[in-house]
C-alpha cells in the first residue's frame, strides 16, 4: 500500500468525533487529551541539535530546531524568538533545559512531536500550526513521578519582517488572562502568548521590551495531566486587543478541531494529487513529502493576500524567515512541478498573486517582502523588480498551468497581464537577435560572483525567454490573436538561430554561459544551459552532447549539480553562484538528461535530491550544498521549495515522461524508468477534467502499459522504448490486432510512438522486443561529509554487433556496473574490466580506472553480443 493510501486510511480510522469548542475562561479552559495519530509518512529519529524543524500553516509558522527552540511568526510579524521549555523538579536546584533532555522527534505533515525524556518525567511537545488561523499551538503531554513545573521562555519582539519596523513595543504579564500581552504605542498590533495552566509570569519594564527572556511558569497538576493536554498558545494580528484575545481563547478551545483539520487537509492533499508507487519505497516517501512541502508554499498575508513563498527557516538576526517572501521566479519554477502533480488551486492562487503586483510597464515582481504593504517597497527599494527572468517565467507558468488544468477562466482573467508582461519583455530585446538581455532587463542566472562579470545576455535567461515565446505563440493562437502569435513565432525562430550560432561551442561540446558586452562569449561549462535543455530548446544532437558534458563530475556530483565546472579557475565550492550544489539546478540537469533520452544520467540526480529529504531537515530539502562535501552550507535555507520541486519535475516529466495538454484534449507519456524497476504506478494524472491511472510493468523483453481513465475521453500519445540494439520491436494495443506503429531505431534505444484514443475506461498497450542492452543508473548511498567519488555513465550506444559504454570515475578505483539484456562479452585484452556474476538478465562487471595524476578519468568499453 502506498504512503498516500495508508495516510487516507489512517485518517478514517483515527479521526474520532471531536467535542465542539466551548467558551472558556483562563480558569476553566481545558484541552481534553486526544490521540495523536502516527503518520504513515512520519519521520522519526533522534534529536539533532541545530537541525531545522518547522511547523507551517497558511498564516503562521513555528521555525526552530529539533530540540524545540524556535521563532514564532504570525505573518507579517515575528512575535517572539528563542522560544523553549525548561523543567523544574524538587531534586534539582536549577531548571533542566529542553536542549539537554530532548531525545526524539517525529515529524508529521500535520504536527511535529519532540519527546523530552528525563529519569523522572517524559514530556511530549506537540507543535501545531493551524491551517488557517493566525496563531500557533504547543500541546504538552506530560507524565511524571515527581512534582513538575514547566517554564516557558522566549524573547518578545512583535516586529515586522525586514525591512518593515515597529517602534514603541512593550510586553506585560496579564494574570487574569494567564498570558503575556505584546503591543505597541498605538495598540494596532497585538499578540498574546500564554497558557491557561500558567500560574505566574515575569515582570517587565513598562512600555518597553525586556532584554531578559519573558518567562511564565506552569505547575503541572499531575492528576489533571492524565486526562488533559497542556496548551501554550500564540495569537497575533493587526487588530484590537480584545479581538486578539478572543482569537487566542478560540485557538485553545479548538485545539482538537484544528489538529483534525490539519490531518484531513493532508489526507485530501495526498489523495487528490498524483500518487506514485515504485519499487523504491524511499523515493515514494520523498515524493510524498515533496507534495506536503509544495503545499506549504501557499502563505497568506493579511495585508498582501495569498501567494507562494520561496522557503522557510529561522531568521536569526536577519528578520526574514528563510526565504519566506513571495519570489516570482521561485513560484514559477515550483508551479511546473505542481502542475504535473495536480496541485492546481495553489498554483492558481500564486499566479493571481503575482499579477496583482505587476509593475505598470508589465514587469513581474521578483520578490515581495512580508512587510511590503507598510513600507514603500515597490517604489523605494531595489529588490522588487531587479530580475529579468521573473517576467518570462510567469508567462511560462501561466501557460503550463493552462495546459495541465484547462482553466480557460484563469487564462481569460490574466490575459491582459500576459500581454503586458510580453510587451515588457520586448523592451529588453534591443540588439535584434531575438533574445532579451540582462543589461536591459536585469539579473538572470547569477546574482553574485565573477562568473557574471560583463554579461550582456546569459543562456539561462535566453532559455526562459524562448520557452515564454512558445507559450505566447500557443496562448495567443488559442485566443485568435494571430498577429501576436506570429510575432512570437518569428522571434522564437530568430532566438533559436542565435542560440545555435552564438552559444554553441563545437570545440567544447556544450553551450556557452553567455554573451559578453564586448560581443565575445563566456565559454565556461556551467549548469545554466540545463534549463533550455529541460525545455527541449536545443538541436537534438547538440542537446545530447551538451547534456553529456554535464553528466560528468565537473558538474554532476554525487549529490547534485554544481553551478560551475569544478575544474574552472573561478570554482568555489562555497560560492553561491560559483560552485555550490543546488538541488534546483540539479533538477533542471536531470530533466534535461531525460529530455534528450539519457536516463542513466538523469535518474542519479533524482535519487540524490530524494536522499536530501532524510539526511538534513527531516522531510525538507535544503537550498544549497557544498560543491566538495555532502553537506548544506551554513547559510542555506533548510526548507527551500525550488529544491523540493526539482525532485517532482524530473520524476514526473522525465522518469514518467508525463506531459498534459488539456486545451487539445491530449497528453503524452514517454516513460524512462530505471531498467531494474519491474513496475511503476501513477494514480490521478490530471489533464483538464480527466484523470488517468497508469501502470507500467516490465519483464524480460516486455513492457506493458495499462491506462484507466476517469472523466472525458482524451488522446494519449505514448512513446515507449526498448533498449539499445533491441530487435523485433513491436507495439500492440488492445486486443493486439497487429502493430500500432513502426519502430524508430537510434543508437541509444528503439522507440515506438503511437496515439491511444482513450474512449474505453481501460486501455492496454504492450511493447515487446528481443535482445538489446541497458544499464542500471549508478546511484550513491550518500553520507554526510563524503566527497564526490561515484561513477558516471556518460553514454551507452549500440554500435554494429555490440555496444559502447562510456564511463567516468575516480582514478585508482573500481566500480560495479550492472547491465541488463542479452549476454555480452568483453575483449580479454581490455584491462580493468572483470565480469563478477550473471543473474539471469543482469550481468555484473567491475570496471577499474587506472591510477594517474588526474583525479578522474573516462573509459570507453566495447561489449559484444554473446
DSSP characters for 38-60?
A: PPTT-EEEE--TT-EEEEE-SSE
Cα–Cα dist 826/830, whole Å: 7
Let me know if residue 472 belongs to a domain.
no
Let me know if residue 593 belongs to a domain.
no
What residues have CB less than 8 Å from 664, skipping those under 6 apart?
Answer: none
C-alpha distance from residue 456 to each of 388, 461, 466, 528, 577 (Å)? 12, 11, 17, 15, 17
Let me know if residue 186 belongs to a domain.
no
Query: What DSSP line would sit under 593-661, residue for residue?
Result: HHHTT-HHHHHHHHHHHHHHHHHSSTT---S-B-SSBSSB-TT--SEEHHHHHHHHHIIIIIIS-EEEE
Let me know if residue 518 belongs to a domain.
no
Task: Name the pairing type of β-strands 149-160 and 214-219.
Answer: antiparallel
* Residue 258 sits in the same domain as residue 278: no
Torsion sign across C-alpha atoms 267, 271, 275, 281: positive
424-427 long-range Cβ contacts below 8 angstroms, 24+ apart? 424/359, 424/361, 424/362, 424/363, 424/391, 425/362, 425/391, 425/392, 425/395, 425/465, 425/468, 427/361
Whether the Cβ atoms of residue 711 and residue 689 lie closer than 8 Å to each other:
yes
Helix/strand/coil (H/E/C) assignment for every residue in 180-226: EEEECCCCCEEEEEECCCCCEECCCCCCCCCCCCEEEEEECCHHHHC
Say how many residues make up the chain: 866
Of the pLDDT bands very low, low, confident and very high (cuts 50, 70, 90), residue 482 is: very high
Please state, rounded to an integer, the average pLDDT across all residues of the chain. 95
Q: Quick one: 699 exposed, middle or buried, by C-beta within 10 A (0-12, 13-18, 19+)? A: exposed
Cα–Cα dist 171/189, whole Å: 12
pLDDT tens-digit readout, 605-645: 999 999 999 999 999 999 999 999 999 999 999 999 999 99
Q: What are phi and psi of 840, to 5 degrees?
A: 65, -120
Residue 116, all three cell numbers: 523530552
> How far apart are the two ends of the chain, measured CA to CA in Å?
41
* Residue 157 sits in the same domain as residue 53: yes
The H or E element containing residue 587 is helix 583-595
Query: What DSSP line would sit under 747-788, residue for residue?
Result: SSEEEEEEEEETTSSEEEEEEEEEEEEEE--------TT-B-
**pLDDT surpassing 60 at residue 18:** no
C-alpha distance from residue 507 to each of 70, 566, 567, 596 (Å)? 53, 19, 17, 20
Point out the domain boundary residue: 387, 411, 436. 387
What's the pLDDT at 10?
A: 44
What's the pLDDT at 28?
A: 60
Q: Which of 195, 12, 41 is nearest to 111 (CA)?
A: 41
* Least-confidence region, from 574-578, 594-598, 666-670: 574-578
Whether the Cβ atoms of residue 230 and residue 220 lie closer than 8 Å to each other:
yes
What residues have CB less than 8 Å from 857, skipping those under 6 apart?
Answer: 808, 809, 811, 849, 850
Cα–Cα dist 89/779, whole Å: 50
Whether the Cβ atoms of residue 84 and residue 154 lie closer than 8 Å to each other:
yes
CB atoms under 10 Å from CB of 285, counted, come to 20
DSSP 19: P
3-state secondary structure of 119: coil
Provide the H-helix boundaries in 215-323: 222-225, 241-253, 255-272, 281-295
**pLDDT surpassing 50 at residue 73:** yes
Provide, rounded to the nearest whole percent, the portion of the chain with pLDDT above 70. Answer: 96
Let me know if residue 617 belongs to a domain.
no
Let me know if residue 102 belongs to a domain.
yes
pLDDT tens-digit readout, 453-474: 999 999 999 999 999 999 999 9
What's the pLDDT at 736?
A: 57
Task: Name the pairing type of β-strands 833-839 and 824-826.
Answer: unpaired
Cα–Cα dist 679/700, whole Å: 12
Point out the domain boundary residue: 367, 387, 407. 387
Cα–Cα dist 701/613, whole Å: 34
Cα–Cα dist 171/184, whole Å: 9
Cα–Cα dist 287/3, whole Å: 10
Q: Which of 460, 616, 631 is nearest to 530 (CA)?
A: 460
C-alpha distance from residue 69 to each of 214, 215, 314 (Å)? 14, 14, 10
pLDDT tens-digit readout, 167-200: 999 999 999 999 999 999 999 999 999 999 999 9
3-state secondary structure of 273: coil
* Least-confidence region, from 16-25, 297-306, 331-340, 516-525: 16-25
* Least-confidence region, from 248-257, 458-467, 574-583: 574-583
pLDDT tens-digit readout, 791-827: 999 999 999 999 999 999 999 999 999 999 999 999 8
pLDDT tens-digit readout, 421-430: 999 999 999 9
What's the pLDDT at 170?
A: 94
**pLDDT surpassing 80 at residue 781:** yes
Q: Quick one: 108 exposed, middle or buried, by C-beta within 10 A (0-12, 13-18, 19+)? A: buried
What's the pLDDT at 423?
A: 98
Describe the chain by its helix, strand, coil percentages, rounded to 5: 30, 35, 35
Residue 348, all three cell numbers: 492558481
* Least-confidence region, from 8-22, 149-163, 355-369, 563-577: 8-22
Give one word for 505, left, alpha or beta, with left for phi > 0 and alpha for psi -120 to 50. beta
Of the pLDDT bands very low, low, confident and very high (cuts 50, 70, 90), residue 448 is: confident
C-alpha distance from residue 744 to each of 426, 547, 701, 741 (Å)? 40, 22, 17, 9
Expressed as residue numbers, the domain containing 315 is: 273-387
* Residue 283 sits in the same domain as residue 355: yes
Provide the H-helix boundaries in 254-371: 255-272, 281-295, 328-341, 344-356
The predicted model gives 91-108 an average pLDDT of 96
Of the pLDDT bands very low, low, confident and very high (cuts 50, 70, 90), residue 22 is: very low
Cα–Cα dist 239/249, whole Å: 15
Of the pLDDT bands very low, low, confident and very high (cuts 50, 70, 90), residue 24 is: low
The predicted model gives 570-598 an average pLDDT of 96
Q: What is the pTM of this model?
A: 0.95
**pLDDT surpassing 50 at residue 571:** yes
* Residue 840 sits in the same domain as residue 730: no
Calculate the CA 219 to chain-centre distance. 43
Q: Which of 154, 126, 129 is nearest to 138 (CA)?
A: 126
* Residue 8 sits in the same domain as residue 85: yes
Torsion sign across C-alpha atoms 631, 633, 637, 640: negative
* Count of domains forming the chain: 4
* Residue 252 sits in the same domain as residue 365: no
Cα–Cα dist 164/145, whole Å: 48
Let me know if residue 375 belongs to a domain.
yes
Whether the Cβ atoms of residue 526 and residue 564 lie closer than 8 Å to each other:
yes
Helices (H) and strands (E) in the chain, counts: 19, 48
The H or E element containing residue 440 is helix 438-441
* Residue 707 sits in the same domain as residue 721: yes
* Residue 804 sits in the same domain as residue 759: no
The predicted model gives 382-393 an average pLDDT of 97
The predicted model gives 428-452 an average pLDDT of 94
Of the pLDDT bands very low, low, confident and very high (cuts 50, 70, 90), residue 7 is: very low
pLDDT tens-digit readout, 118-130: 999 999 999 999 9
Point out the domain boundary residue: 387, 412, 446. 387
Q: Quick one: 764 exposed, middle or buried, by C-beta within 10 A (0-12, 13-18, 19+)? A: middle
The predicted model gives 237-265 an average pLDDT of 97
Let me know if residue 145 belongs to a domain.
yes
* Residue 263 sits in the same domain as residue 149: yes
* Residue 257 sits in the same domain as residue 149: yes
Q: How many CA atoms lie within 13 A of 414 on its CB side?
A: 30
Whether the Cβ atoms of residue 693 and residue 277 lie closer than 8 Å to each other:
no
Query: What DSSP line would sit under 589-610, residue for residue?
Result: HHHHHHHTT-HHHHHHHHHHHH
* Residue 43 sits in the same domain as residue 155: yes
* Residue 690 sits in the same domain as residue 805: no
Amino acid at each position: 500500500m502506498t504512503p498516500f493510501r495508508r495516510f487516507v486510511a489512517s485518517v478514517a480510522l483515527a479521526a474520532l468525533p471531536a467535542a465542539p469548542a466551548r467558551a472558556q475562561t483562563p480558569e476553566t479552559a481545558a484541552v481534553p487529551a486526544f490521540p495523536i495519530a502516527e503518520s504513515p509518512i512520519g519521520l522519526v529519529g533522534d534529536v539533532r541539535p541545530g537541525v531545522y524543524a518547522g511547523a507551517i500553516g497558511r498564516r503562521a509558522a513555528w521555525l526552530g530546531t529539533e530540540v524545540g527552540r524556535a521563532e514564532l511568526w504570525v505573518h507579517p510579524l515575528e512575535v517572539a524568538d528563542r522560544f523553549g521549555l525548561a523543567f523544574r523538579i524538587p531534586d534539582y536546584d536549577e531548571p533542566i533545559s529542553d536542549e539537554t533532555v530532548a531525545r526524539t522527534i517525529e515529524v508529521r505533515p500535520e504536527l511535529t512531536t519532540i519527546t523530552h525524556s528525563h529519569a523522572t518525567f517524559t514530556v511530549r511537545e506537540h507543535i501545531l500550526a493551524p491551517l488557517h488561523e493566525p496563531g500557533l499551538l504547543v500541546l504538552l503531554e506530560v507524565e511524571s513521578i515527581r512534582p513538575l513545573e514547566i517554564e516557558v521562555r522566549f524573547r518578545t519582539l512583535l516586529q515586522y519582517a525586514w525591512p518593515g519596523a515597529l517602534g514603541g513595543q512593550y510586553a506585560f504579564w496579564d494574570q487574569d488572562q494567564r498570558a503575556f500581552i505584546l503591543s505597541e504605542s498605538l495598540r494596532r498590533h497585538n499578540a498574546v502568548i500564554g497558557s491557561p495552566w500558567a500560574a505566574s509570569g515575569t515582570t517587565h519594564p513598562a512600555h518597553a521590551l525586556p532584554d531578559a527572556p519573558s518567562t511564565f511558569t506552569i505547575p503541572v497538576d499531575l492528576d489533571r495531566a492524565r486526562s488533559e493536554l497542556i496548551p501554550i498558545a500564540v495569537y497575533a494580528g493587526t487588530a484590537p486587543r480584545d479581538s486578539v484575545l478572543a482569537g487566542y481563547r478560540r485557538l485553545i478551545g479548538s485545539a482538537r478541531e484544528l489538529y483534525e483539520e490539519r490531518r484531513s487537509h493532508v489526507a485530501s492533499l495526498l489523495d487528490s494529487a498524483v500518487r506514485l508507487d515504485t519499487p523504491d519505497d524511499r523515493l515514494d516517501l520523498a515524493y510524498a513529502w515533496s507534495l506536503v512541502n509544495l503545499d506549504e508554499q501557499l502563505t497568506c498575508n493579511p495585508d498582501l493576500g495569498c501567494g507562494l513563498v520561496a522557503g522557510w527557516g529561522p531568521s536569526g538576526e536577519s528578520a526574514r524567515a528563510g526565504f519566506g517572501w513571495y519570489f516570482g521566479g521561485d513560484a514559477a519554477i515550483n508551479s511546473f512541478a505542481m502542475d504535473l502533480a495536480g496541485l492546481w488551486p495553489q498554483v492558481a492562487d500564486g499566479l493571481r498573486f503575482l499579477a496583482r503586483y505587476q509593475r505598470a510597464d508589465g514587469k513581474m515582481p521578483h520578490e515581495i517582502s512580508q512587510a511590503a504593504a507598510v513600507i514603500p517597497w515597490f517604489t523605494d527599494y531595489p529588490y522588487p523588480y531587479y530580475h529579468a527572468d521573473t517576467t518570462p517565467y510567469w508567462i511560462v507558468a501561466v501557460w503550463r498551468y493552462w495546459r495541465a488544468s484547462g482553466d480557460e477562466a484563469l487564462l481569460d482573467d490574466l490575459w491582459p497581464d500576459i500581454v503586458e508582461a510580453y510587451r515588457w519583455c520586448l523592451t529588453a530585446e534591443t540588439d535584434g537577435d531575438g533574445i532579451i538581455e540582462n543589461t536591459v532587463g536585469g539579473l538572470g542566472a547569477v546574482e553574485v560572483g565573477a562568473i557574471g562579470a560583463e554579461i550582456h545576455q546569459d543562456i539561462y535567461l535566453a532559455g526562459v525567454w524562448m520557452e515564454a515565446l512558445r507559450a505566447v505563440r500557443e496562448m495567443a493562437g488559442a485566443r485568435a490573436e494571430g498577429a501576436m502569435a506570429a510575432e512570437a513565432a518569428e522571434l522564437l525562430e530568430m532566438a533559436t538561430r542565435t542560440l545555435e550560432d552564438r552559444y554553441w561551442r563545437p570545440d567544447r561540446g556544450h553551450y556557452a554561459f553567455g554573451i559578453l558586452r564586448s560581443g565575445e562569449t563566456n565559454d565556461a561549462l556551467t549548469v545554466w544551459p540545463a534549463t533550455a535543455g529541460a525545455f527541449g530548446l536545443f538541436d537534438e544532437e547538440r542537446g545530447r552532447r551538451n547534456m553529456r558534458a554535464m553528466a560528468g563530475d565537473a558538474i554532476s556530483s554525487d549529490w547534485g549539480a554544481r553551478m560551475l565546472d569544478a575544474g574552472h579557475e573561478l570554482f568555489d565550492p562555497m560560492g553561491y553562484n560559483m560552485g555550490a550544489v543546488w538541488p534546483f539546478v540539479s533538477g533542471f540537469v536531470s530533466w534535461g538528461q531525460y529530455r534528450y533520452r539519457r536516463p542513466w544520467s538523469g535518474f542519479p540526480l533524482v535519487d540524490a535530491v530524494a536522499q536530501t529529504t532524510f539526511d538534513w531537515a527531516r522531510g525538507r530539502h535544503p537550498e544549497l550544498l557544498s560543491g566538495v562535501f555532502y553537506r548544506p552550507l551554513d547559510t542555506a535555507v533548510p526548507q527551500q521549495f525550488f529544491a523540493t520541486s526539482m525532485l517532482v519535475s524530473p520524476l514526473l516529466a522525465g522518469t514518467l515522461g508525463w506531459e498534459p495538454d488539456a486545451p487539445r484534449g491530449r497528453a503524452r507519456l514517454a516513460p524512462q524508468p530505471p531498467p531494474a524497476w519491474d513496475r511503476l504506478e501513477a494514480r490521478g494524472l490530471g489533464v483538464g477534467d480527466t484523470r488517468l491511472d497508469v501502470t507500467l510493468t516490465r519483464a524480460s523483453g516486455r513492457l506493458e502499459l495499462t491506462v484507466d481513465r476517469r472523466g472525458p475521453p482524451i488522446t494519449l500519445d505514448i512513446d515507449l522504448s526498448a533498449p539499445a540494439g533491441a530487435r523485433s520491436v513491436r507495439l500492440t494495443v488492445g486486443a493486439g490486432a497487429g502493430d500500432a506503429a513502426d519502430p524508430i531505431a537510434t543508437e541509444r534505444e528503439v522507440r515506438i510512438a503511437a496515439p491511444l484514443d482513450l474512449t474505453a475506461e481501460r486501455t492496454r498497450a504492450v511493447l515487446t522486443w528481443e535482445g538489446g542492452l541497458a544499464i542500471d543508473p549508478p546511484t550513491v548511498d550518500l553520507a554526510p561529509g563524503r566527497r564526490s567519488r561515484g561513477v558516471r555513465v556518460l553514454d551507452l550506444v549500440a554500435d554494429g554487433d555490440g555496444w559502447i559504454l562510456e564511463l567516468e570515475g575516480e582514478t585508482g578505483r573500481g566500480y560495479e556496473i550492472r547491465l541488463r539484456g542479452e549476454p555480452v562479452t568483453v575483449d580479454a585484452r581490455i584491462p580493468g574490466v572483470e565480469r563478477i556474476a550473471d543473474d539471469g538478465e543482469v550481468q555484473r562487471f567491475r570496471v577499474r580506472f587506472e591510477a594517474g595524476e588526474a583525479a578522474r578519468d573516462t573509459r570507453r568499453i566495447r561489449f559484444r553480443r554473446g
